[in-house]
A = this chain, B = another copy of it.
Amino acid sequence: TLSVFADVPVGHKLESRLLTACMTDENLPWISPVVHKICLQTVQDPSLIYEYLPDPGLKSFIQASLELLFGKHSPAIVENRAGGVHTIGESGAFRLAAQFFRLWHRDASTVCIVSCQKESHGLVFQDMGFEVCEYCIWDPKKRRMDSNVILKVAEQMPSGCILVIGNPIDCRLTQSQWAKLMSIMKSKQIFPFFDIPCQGLSTGDPEEDAGVLRYFVSSGFEFFCSQFLSRNFGVYDEVVGILVVVARNNEQLLCVLSQLLSYAQALWLNPPSRGSRIITTILCNPTLQEEWNLSLKVAVENMMLIKEKVKEKLRLLGTPGSWNHITEQMGTHGYLGLNYQQVQYLIKKKHIYIPRNGYINFTCINASNIDYITQSISEAVLFTKDS
């Protein structure tokens, strides 16, 4: 008899994903020291670690994370119209949001998403039947973030669509550009979906990294936000995420949350709890939170130091062109500013495997590989033709 699986072809394979963790000098994933301390404490208390979570996740965890995102005194929090559902990482948050939009935001048939997120998160929307457009805020010619792109995108998008605003601090919009964006979005009823992938690891200050959200709250927007907490606490394997909802009032918030919760129950029922318990312990204790804040500052300073070193070494090697864009970009990841031929040179001749767009994790560069990497970049620039 024929196999039941006779017609099944090989599945679509995603491009190898970036190592997205922040790495240390020793090439290990960065962990906030306070997280390690709490881990050692909680392992002694098995009853705390192993029990199932209630369905909506840990209430105190959601509350503490919302306060981190918006500030304790945010109108959205004070008026009980901000809430969230604990998700399995960013993918889980995007998945719940896509399902919600399909069922309850029927005007939206298009989702606009920043291009370096398209592969992973864009697919989730595509699977749900959305048309996915991508935009790229990096201008490869000028080698800088082009803050006008997102404004142009908003102007060209159909009314009522969904705009995914990837890590807003990277967008480099001025206050007046944000105001302009909001005014376009309001008039065209474009729904904002923010992605906060590593609050605090861009500038070293969690409040500054999420400042734009506060601006949207105070301007009366309703929105969704994927809040990912594994990177900024260094609990990568727990993939701790929240889909955050800001609604007009508490009643509508509860309706939206109850819908999202019913999808979550069918998807994973209980979210893993260990990461969220660790994070809650830290965020609910001012001394521990201060330790965490400090660890973010140190991590970001180390990041900037690596970038400075890369830039300086490229300069000393006489690499043609300006490399200021390396230090102008914030956070763990950034564009190297290489073209297609140059990236191919790194991959094929130097076995440095980076994505086609040259968007790399700078924290993977350390004392033991910086000379090889900068020498290789220099060669790639010298020995390939510009396309």
Which residues of A approach B to under 8 Å, CB–CB?
3-14, 17, 19-21, 28-29, 31, 36, 39-40, 43, 46-47, 49-53, 55, 88-92, 95, 104-105, 120, 123-124, 127, 189, 191, 222, 234-239, 247-249, 252-256, 258-262, 265-275
In the bound complex, how far is the Cα of B55 from the Cα of A252, in angstroms?
37
- Asked if B10 contacts A273 (CB within 8 A), the reply is no
Q: Known A4-B191, A8-B259; judge A91-B269 contact (CB<8 A).
A: yes
Q: A259 to B17, alpha carbons, bound, how many Å?
A: 18
B51–A255 CB distance below 8 A: no
Chain B residues in 8 Å Cβ range of A4? 105, 189, 191, 222
Which partner residue on chain B sits nearest A191 by CB separation?
B4
Nearest B-chain residue to A270, judged by Cβ: B239
Distance in angstroms between the alpha carbons of A261 and B123 in the assembled complex: 14
* Distance (whole angstroms) from the CB of A45 to the closest CB of chain B: 11
Given A28-B46, A89-B270, A120-B265, 19 more pairs with CB closer than 8 A: A3-B222, A8-B259, A10-B258, A10-B259, A11-B262, A17-B55, A31-B46, A50-B236, A50-B237, A51-B236, A88-B88, A88-B268, A91-B269, A95-B266, A124-B266, A237-B273, A237-B274, A238-B272, A272-B275
Point out the residues of chain B lying under 8 angstroms from A261, CB to CB: 11
Q: Are the CB atoms of A239 and B17 closer together than 8 Å? A: no
Tell whether, in the assembled complex, residue B269 and residue A90 are in contact, meaning their CB atoms are under 8 Å apart: yes
- A262-B13, A266-B91, A274-B274 are contacts. A256–B8 as well, Cβ < 8 Å? yes
The 4 closest A-B pairs by CB, nearest first: A11-B258, A3-B248, A237-B273, A11-B262
Closest B-chain residue to A20, C-beta based?
B52
B92 touches A265 (CB 8 A): no
Pick the most buried of A5, A127, A268: most chain B CB atoms within 10 A of its CB.
A5
Task: Given A13-B258, A254-B10, A259-B11, check contact A28 B43 (CB 8 Å).
Answer: no
Q: Is the pair A255, B90 in contact by a Cβ cutoff of 8 Å?
A: no
Contacts A88-B88, A92-B268, A237-B53 known; A5 to B46 CB distance under 8 Å?
no
Contact partner, A5, options B55, B222, B262, Cβ 8 Å: B222
Q: Kindly list chain B residues whose C-beta atoms are within 8 Å of the C-beta of A10.
A: 254-255, 258-259
Minimal beta-carbon separation of A192 from chain B (angstroms): 10
In the complex, are the beta carbons of B104 and A7 less than 8 A apart?
yes
| Chain B residues whose C-beta falls within 8 Å of the C-beta of A40 in the assembled complex | 43
Note all chain B residues with C-beta closer than 8 A to A265.
14, 91, 120
CA distance A167 to B114 in the complex (A): 45
27 A–B contacts, CB within 8 A, in A order: A3-B248, A4-B105, A4-B191, A4-B222, A5-B248, A5-B253, A8-B256, A10-B255, A11-B262, A12-B262, A14-B262, A20-B52, A21-B51, A28-B46, A29-B51, A31-B50, A39-B43, A88-B267, A88-B272, A91-B269, A92-B267, A95-B267, A120-B269, A237-B270, A238-B274, A239-B268, A272-B272
Contact B247 A3 (CB under 8 A): yes
Identify the interface centre among A49, A237, A271: most chain B CB within 10 Å of its CB: A237
Chain B residues near A274: list those with CB within 8 A. 237-238, 272, 274
Residue of B nearest to A277 (CB): B237
